[in-house]
Amino acid sequence: MSIETLSAAVRNIPDFPIAGIQFKDFTTLFQDARYLKELSDILYERYKDKGITKVVGIESRGFFMGPATALRLNAGFVPIRKPGKLPYRTIEEKYTKEYGEDAVQIHEDALEKNDIVLIHDDLLATGGTMAAAYNLVKKLGVKKIYINFLIELEDLRGRELFDKDVEIDTILKYDI
């Protein structure tokens, strides 16, 4: 199966969540076992030789493929969540969104200095949420960090929030 086939399976929803937005609905990729397997295979192939010890998924759509990828890589899974959702002691990173400020948290003991981490989320748009997640993971002093998205909206230039030495990979890329 090709990237073009996967890309064509993503449904466009006009004017969602607000007028003027062309929403990329990738749930269609999860509804078909062939597409879901292909996504899993792509993620595995891209990261199988990187020594990943933990996959970090960002609430909530990073929880779709994050745990599945962790299983295939024989790695642990760590959630990054909105404030107040994790039961143990956390560290927090605030970030600016289009409509104000938000924050994400991770358990303070979720990662160790020798961990090689893949941070996964569904979509790279403006990049604020992932930048906050990346900063949290960096604060925990891990050995190496990789970043992955299923979809990237290239015109929004979310990659520009990250240093050039950060390896960012996306499966499907769209202009908006």
Q: For residue 99, is pLDDT > 80?
A: no
Residues 136-163: what's their mean pLDDT?
96
pLDDT in tens, 56-93: 999 999 999 999 999 999 999 999 999 999 999 999 99
Mean pLDDT of all residues in the chain? Answer: 95
pLDDT in tens, 36-58: 999 999 999 999 999 999 999 99
Domains of the chain: 50-174 (3.40.50.2020)
Q: For residue 176, is pLDDT > 90?
A: no
Q: Which residue has the tokens 């073009």?
A: 4
Tokens read off for 96: 């600016």
Per residue, the 3-state secondary structure of 80-139, as one string, reads EECCCCCCCCEEEEEEEECCEEEEEEEECCCCCCCCEEEEEEEEECCCHHHHHHHHHHHH
The structure's pTM equals 0.95
Q: Which residue has the tokens 């007028």?
A: 19
Tokens read off for 139: 């604060």
Residues classed as catalytic: 61, 98
